[in-house]
Structure 1
Amino acid sequence: MEDYDVFTNEIEYTKPAYKNILNKYVKDIPNTPSGPNYESGRKLMGVECLADGQEKECAFYFSESASSTLRTLAVYRDEQLSHSDNKLSKITTYIKPIKNIIEANPISQEEEHLLEFLSDDTEEVREILEKYEIDDNMPFYKKYMRFGPENNVENFLKILNELPKEWTIIQLTAPYNPNENLKPFVDYRTEIKSIFITLLTNDYLDQDTGPITIEVPANVTKGEEKPLFEELYSILDENYKTIDNAQFLNNKRLVQNYWNRREDIDLRMKSVINVMYKEWLGGWSSLLTGKLIDSSIRDRVVKLVDTAIDDWGFFKLTKKQKILLYNLLEHSSVLSSQQIKSCLRRILTEHGNTDDIKQFLNTSDCDTCNSEYRFLNELCLKCLSKCFEKIHNFSLVDGIKAFSQVAAKIRDGDEWEDLKKAKRYPVLLIVDEMLDTFPWETLPIINQHPVSRIENIHFLYTLYKVHEERIVNGYFNAKADVGRYIINPEKNLERMELRMSSFVKYWCPTWSGHIGEPPPPADFLACLAHADIFLYCGHGDGCHFARGAGAGVEGVTSHAAVLLAGCGSVRLSRPPGRAPPAAAHHHLHVASCPVVIGMLWEVTDLEVDKAVSALLALSVPSTAPLPWRRVGKANWSKGVLDLNVEQKEPPPAERDLLQATGRARGATSFVMIASSLVARGLPVRLPDE
C-alpha cells in the first residue's frame, strides 16, 4: 500500500457507512459530563434565568445541579446489570442505530467494491441480526436519569405534576463559587454568602405559578463571632477529636474533661441551630414546611391574606409575592414578630415586579445603588421604599403593618388553634452537597414534621416509579414481616452488642441476622435483598461487608427500609481534589431502597442505641409484653431488661417512619446525637399490625 503524508490534505476521502457510524458515536453518544463542572454550569444558568424572571427555567437548571455524578453511577449500574443478564446486549445495542445509518446513507455504485469482502450470505446474516434487535422502549424515568435531550424544562414540569400531590418538594442550592476550581474543599466550603430556596411543589403553588426561587443571604456576624459555616465545621472537627480520643481516657480527671467538652460541643450546636432559625433563615424557614392535611385551614389562610390585600389596595402584588405571604403568615404562631416583619419587608420590596421598580427607580440620588443591578436585593432599602410607595400609594411601613396585623390575628385568635396543632404531609428536601452537613430537620419550625432528604429530582422520580404500586397517599406502604440485622460485626463494641441484641430479641423476636461476627458478602446482600427492614449497628455504614460479592450493594434490588446506626453512616464523604462526594445511601438508593436512615457525623453508641431502639419501637409492630419505653434499662448495657416495672400509659405508636424519626430524636438528651439522625429517601409508613 502506498504511503501518504498524514500532514497533507491532498487525499479525498469518500463517505462510506463505517465513517458515518463513527461520527454517530462521536457526536451522539450519551453524555456523562464531569459532575462538579456540570453542576457549576447549571447553577450559573439557573441564576441567569432567575435574573431574567424565568422561574421555571431557573428551577430546572438548579435541579440539574444537584448530585449529578450520582446519576452517572445509576446509569452505569443499570447498563452493567443489563449486560450481565444478556451477554449479547452490548452488541445488540448497536444494531438498530447502525441499520438506520446504512439505510439513510445507501452505498453508491462507486463504493460497492467496499462490500466485496462480505460473504455471499449477507441476507442470512441480516436475518440473524434481526433476531437480536433490542426493544429500546426504555422507561422515561431511566431516560431522565441520563444526560440527554429528555432533560428539559417541559419534562421537568411534567415530573413535578406526576409526583404525589401530598409531597412538598424543596431544593436548597448553594451559589456557584469560582474558588471550587482553585482551593481545597476545606477552604472554600465556608465561602457561602447566600443560598437559594426553590419551592418545587407547595401548598400554595399551582401549575401556572410554580416553581419559584428566592435567595436568602448569609447571616451577619457580630464582633468575634464565627460565620455560621465556619462554626459548624469547627464543631464537627472538635466532636470527632473528642470521640476519637475517648479510648485513651484512663483516669477520673480525663473522663470529667471529656464530658465537659461534650457538653460544650452540644451547647455550640444548639447555638448553630438557633442562629440558623432566628438570624439566618428567619421568616423564610416557613418555606420548609409541609402541606396541611386539612385543606380547609389552607383556604382560610388564603382568604384572610387576600382580604388584607384587597382592603389595603395591594393591587400590584405579584403571584410570587402572594405565595410567599401565604407561607409566611400561615406560620405566624411559631415565628417571632421580628422574623415576620423582616421577611415582610423583603417580600414587599425585593420580590416585586422588576418592571414596576425600573419605572420609578432613580439611582442618581443614591450613592450605593447602580442602575446596572440584576436583582432587586442589590438595591438599598431607601430606594426600594421610595419605589414601593410610588407603586402602591402608601408607605412600606404601612404595608408591613397591614400584614403584621394579619399575623397577629393568626397568632392570637382562638379560631386559629386548629392551625397550631394541624398535621402535615411529608417534606422532601433536595439539599445541595455543599449544604448537606447542616441539621435542617432540627429547625424548630419543622422538627415535629415528617421530613426526608433526597439527592435530586431524578432519584426521587426514579424511586417513585420503581415503587409506584406500593405508594398510597404519598407514602410507601412498607412491611415489617421480614427483619434482618447485623450487630457489632467487628466485635469491638461489646456493650452496644448487648444492648441492641437484647432489644431486637425482645421487640422483634422473629428477626434474624448476625451478632458479633462479620457476615459473608453473600449473606449481607441476601439480608438486604429479602428484608422489609434492615438494621446495621456497628462502625460506619456496613456496606463494606458487601464487597467481594459481584457488584456489591448495587448488585441487588431491595425494598427494605434501611437503618444504619454507625458514625457518619449517611454522611457525604469527599475524596481529595475536586472529586464528587460519595455515601452509603447513594449505593442503597441505586439498589432501589426506598429510605435510608442514619447519622450525619460521629456519634457515641449508648445515645445512638437509645434513639435507634426508640425509633424501631415506635414504628415496628410488636407482641412484646411491655412498651419499650416502659421497660427498665438500669442494666441494659449488660443485656438485661427489667419487666417488673410499674404499668403506665404506653406512648402512642407512630407508623410514619419520618415522624417516628423526629420523635426518636427526643430519646437522647444530646443535641449532637439527635441532630445527626436523618432520613434519606421516600416517606414510608409501616403497618399497624
Structure 2
Amino acid sequence: MEDFDVFTNEINFTKPLFKNILNKYVNEVPSTPNGPNYQSGRKLMAEECLSDNDDVGCAFHLSEAASASLRTMAVYRDEQLKTAENKLHKITSYIKPIKDLVDSNPISKTDKKFLDKLSEGTDDITNVLDSFALEDEMPFYKRYLHFSKENNVDNFLKILKELPKEWTVVQLTVPYNPNENLKPLIEYRTEVDSIYLSLLTNDYLDDTAMGPVTVHIPANITKEGERPLFTELYSLLDENYKTIDNAQFLNNKRLVQNYWSRREDIDLRMKSVINVMDKEWLGGWGSLLTGKLVDSSLKEKVVKLVDTTIQDWGFIRLTQKQKILLYNLLESCPVLQSQQIKTCIRRILTEHGNTEDVRQVLNFECGSCTKEFRFLNELCLKCLSKSFEKIHHFGLVDGIRAFSQAAMQVKDNDEWAGLKKAKRHPVILIVDEMLDTFPWETLPILNQHPVSRMENIHFLYYLYKIHESKIVDGYFAAKCDVGRYVINPEKNLDRMENRMTSFVEYWCPEWKGHVGEPPSPADFIAHLSEADVFLYCGHGDGCQLAARGGGAGVEQARGSALCVLSGCGSVRLAAPAPRAPPAAAHHHLHIAACPMVVGMLWEVTDLEVDKVVSTLLSLYVPSEAPLPWHSVGKAKWSNKILDTTSEQKGQIIQERDILRAVCRARGSTNYVMIASSVVARGLPLRIRE
C-alpha cells in the first residue's frame, strides 16, 4: 500500500509495480480485448522495453499495438463463416476447450473406479463427444490473429524470418496518449508530438543477428506562428470536403471561379504539409523508409564506406544499431539535403548509443540533466557532447564531420550517381491508425518506390500464408485474364460513367460488369470471386452493394482480385464516435483474402480520378487496343467519344508491377490532392510473365 497516497486523487506507482501491472495486463488479456485499451497497454510496454535498450521487445509490443480491433473482427467473421458452413461447428467449439481441460488433468485409477460405480454408459457418452471433435488444427497464421500466449517475441521473430527477403517492412506508431481514454477522437487526434519508427526487416538488418530496431522521432513540431501539422492536415481535408460537396450548387461564373481558387489553395496547402513532413519532421530519418536495393553491389559499397570511416576515425564504441542507422542514412544521401544529413548523424551518434556507457561517463555539468533519465534524447546537447567525447576520445563535431564527408562522397561523386535512381524492392508500411491519413507515399524520398500499406504484421503474415504458393520474388504472381466492373451504380455520375465506360470498352472490351445500375449482392460477390482485376467507379467504396450493413458481406468472397476502388475515401479509415475502432473497405476485403486494394484516402473529383485510374489500368493491364491510352484524344471523353485517329505520342512502357504503376499513374493529374490520395493496401502484386 505504500505505493498509493489516499489523500490525493493521484496514484504514484513505483517502477517495479508499474511494470508488473503492465505485464499482467498484456499477458492475461482476454481472448477478445477492447482494441484501443489493448493498444494503449502494448504501447506502454514498448516504451519500457525501449528504455531498457530492448529493441526487439519494443518492436514486438508496437506490432501488437497496430489495428488490434481488426484482428477481433477477423476472428469473429471466421467463426461466423465456419458456423454457416457447418451447423455443428459452434457446439464442437464449445466442447473442445472442456475436453482439452479434462485431457490435461487425468483422473487417478482410484477415482476412475469410484466414478465407474456412480455412472453407467460413460463410454457411450465419450464416443458421442469424440464424434463432435474438431479434427482440423487451426494453422499458425490464423492462431496468431488471436490474442493468446502465442503472440510472443519468439513467434514475432519467426514470422519476420518467414516473410519474403525482398520486402522492407517498416512500422510507424504514435506513442501512448492518456487523453485517448478521456477525450473524443476529434480532440486528441492532434495531440501527437513524436512517432516510433520501427525497422522490422531491412537490407542492413538481414546481415546481423540484432533483429528489429526502433527510433523515436520528434513530430508535429512547428515554428512560431505556424499551425501544428496534424491540425493543418485535418483542417485542409475538411475544407476539401466542403469545397467538393458544394460544387453541385455552383450556378454562376463568380462561384465557379471561387471554386477553382479554393481548389488551388487546398492544393498548395497539401504541398506544404508534404514539405513539412519531409524537411521539418522526418528529415534524415526518411532514409529508414526506403526499400532494399535490387543491385546488392551498391549495398556492399555503402557498408564498406561506413565501415572504413569507423575504422579510420576510431569509432570503437559504436553500437550495431548506430551502424545500421548510418548505413541507411548514407544510402539515401543523394535525395537528402546536407543539413538533414548532418542533423541525423548528430542524433545517431548521441541519442542512439549505449545508455549505460553514457551513465558511466556523464558528469551532469549543465545542472539540469540527471541520472534518472530513461532515454538519451532527454539529455541536453552539452551533456551528450561531453559524453560522446569521453566515450570515443574525440569531439562530437569531428564525429559529425567524419560521416558528413563520407555522405558528401555519396551525394556528389559521379561514382555513386546510379544510387539515386537505383531500382528497389517493395516497401510495406504498417501505419498506425492515428497516422494513416498522412500521404507517406508522396514524400520525395518514397514517391518513386513501390510502396504498399498494411494494417499490422498479423494481417501481412495472414495474407502472405494464404497466397504463399503464388508469391514469387516477393510479389504475388497475378493474372489479368478476367476483369469485372461496377460503374455508376447510383446513376448520378453521368460524365464519369461516360468516361470510364468508354475506357473499358476501348482498352479491355472483354471485361464484364454493371453500368448505371447496382448489381445484386450475389453478383457483387461473384465479381470479387471471379475477377483477376475488379474495378469500382462510384461513390465511396461500393462494398455496401455486397450486403446491407456497411460492407460486412464481402468476406464471403474468396478470390485473388486486384480491387481498384475509385470513390471518395474508398480506403479511408473511419472511426465512429466516441472511441469505436476505425474500419474501412480494405479491412473486409483483406479478411476475404483479397491480396491488393487500391483506393482513395479522402474526397476526390471524378475527372481527375478518372485520369489516374484509367492511366493505372492502361499501364498494368495488357491490351490489343490500336493506340496506347496516353495517345488517345480525350477532348470529348466526357461525352463518351474517344479520338483514335491521332498519332502515337512516343513509346509507352507497360508496368506489370502494380505498385510502380500507381507511382506513374499519380503523374497523370496536376492536382497534388488527387495524386496523394491514391494508396495501395495489401501484398505487392505483379502480373506473371
* Matched position secondary structure for 1:465: helix
Question: More deviation in 366-375 or 630-639?
Answer: 366-375
Aligned ranges for residues 80-99 of structure 1 at < 5 Å? 80-99=80-99
Aligned ranges for residues 449-468 of structure 1 at < 5 Å? 449-468=449-468
* Matched position secondary structure for 1:145: coil
Q: Cα distance 1:267–1:179, how it changes in 2: closer, same or farther (>3 A)?
A: same
AA in 1 matched with 2:616: L
AA in 2 matched with 1:666: G
In structure 2, how many angstroms separate the alpha carbons of the residues matched to 1:101 and 1:410? 62
Aligned ranges for residues 564-603 of structure 1 at < 5 Å? 564-603=565-604
Question: More deviation in 91-100 or 305-314?
Answer: 91-100
* Matched position secondary structure for 1:172: strand
Cα drift, residue 93 of structure 1: 2.7
In structure 2, how many angstroms separate the alpha carbons of the residues matched to 1:358 and 1:351? 13
Q: Give 4+ residue runs of structure 1 displaced > 6 Å after superposition.
A: 27-30, 107-118
Aligned ranges for residues 107-506 of structure 1 at < 5 Å? 120-206=120-206, 207-363=208-364, 365-506=365-506
Cα drift, residue 108 of structure 1: 9.6
Question: More deviation in 126-135 or 250-259?
Answer: 126-135
Q: Which runs of 5+ in 2 are unaligned?
A: 1-26
Cα drift, residue 113 of structure 1: 9.5
In structure 2, how many angstroms separate the alpha carbons of the residues matched to 1:570 and 1:302? 39
AA in 1 matched with 2:683: L
Cα drift, residue 554 of structure 1: 1.0
* Matched position secondary structure for 1:667: coil
The C-alpha deviation readout for 1:584-621, integer Å capped at 9, x for no partner, is 00000000000100000000000000000000001111
Taking structure 1 as the reference length, the TM-score comes to 0.93
Are the aligned partners of 1:629 and 1:650 in contact in 2 as well (CA < 8 Å)?
no
Are the aligned partners of 2:289 and 2:427 in contact in 1 as well (CA < 8 Å)?
yes
Q: Cα distance 1:332–1:518, how it changes in 2: closer, same or farther (>3 A)?
A: same
Question: More deviation in 458-467 or 411-420?
Answer: 411-420
In structure 2, how many angstroms separate the alpha carbons of the residues matched to 1:132 and 1:280? 58
In structure 1, how many angstroms separate the alpha carbons of the residues matched to 2:570 and 2:109? 62
In structure 2, how many angstroms separate the alpha carbons of the residues matched to 1:71 and 1:626? 46
AA in 2 matched with 1:390: K
In structure 2, how many angstroms separate the alpha carbons of the residues matched to 1:506 and 1:633? 12
What is aligned with 1:6?
none
* Matched position secondary structure for 1:428: strand
Cα drift, residue 224 of structure 1: 1.6
In structure 1, how many angstroms separate the alpha carbons of the residues matched to 2:600 and 2:98? 49
Cα drift, residue 646 of structure 1: 1.6
Q: CA RMSD in A?
A: 1.9
AA in 1 matched with 2:316: F
* Matched position secondary structure for 2:190: coil
Cα drift, residue 370 of structure 1: 2.4
Q: Cα distance 1:648–1:100, how it changes in 2: closer, same or farther (>3 A)?
A: closer
What is aligned with 2:681?
680
Cα drift, residue 415 of structure 1: 1.2
Q: Cα distance 1:100–1:670, how it changes in 2: closer, same or farther (>3 A)?
A: closer
AA in 2 matched with 1:525: I
* Matched position secondary structure for 1:175: coil
The C-alpha deviation readout for 1:539-578, integer Å capped at 9, x for no partner, is 0000000115996101221211100000000000010111
In structure 1, how many angstroms separate the alpha carbons of the residues matched to 2:100 and 2:43? 37
1:638 partnered with 2:639: yes
In structure 2, how many angstroms separate the alpha carbons of the residues matched to 1:183 and 1:451? 33
Are the aligned partners of 2:552 and 2:588 in contact in 1 as well (CA < 8 Å)?
no
Cα drift, residue 77 of structure 1: 1.2
In structure 1, how many angstroms separate the alpha carbons of the residues matched to 2:177 and 2:680? 28
Aligned ranges for residues 598-677 of structure 1 at < 5 Å? 598-677=599-678
* Paired-residue identity, %: 68
Cα drift, residue 94 of structure 1: 3.7
AA in 1 matched with 2:596: V
Cα drift, residue 285 of structure 1: 0.3
* Matched position secondary structure for 2:302: helix
The C-alpha deviation readout for 1:226-263, integer Å capped at 9, x for no partner, is 01111111110110111111111110000000000000
What is aligned with 2:8?
none
Are the aligned partners of 2:628 and 2:648 in contact in 1 as well (CA < 8 Å)?
no
Q: Cα distance 1:574–1:99, how it changes in 2: closer, same or farther (>3 A)?
A: closer
Cα drift, residue 486 of structure 1: 0.2
The C-alpha deviation readout for 1:16-66, integer Å capped at 9, x for no partner, is xxxxxxxxxxx9997110000000000000010000001100000000000
In structure 1, how many angstroms separate the alpha carbons of the residues matched to 2:453 and 2:393? 44
What is aligned with 2:36?
36
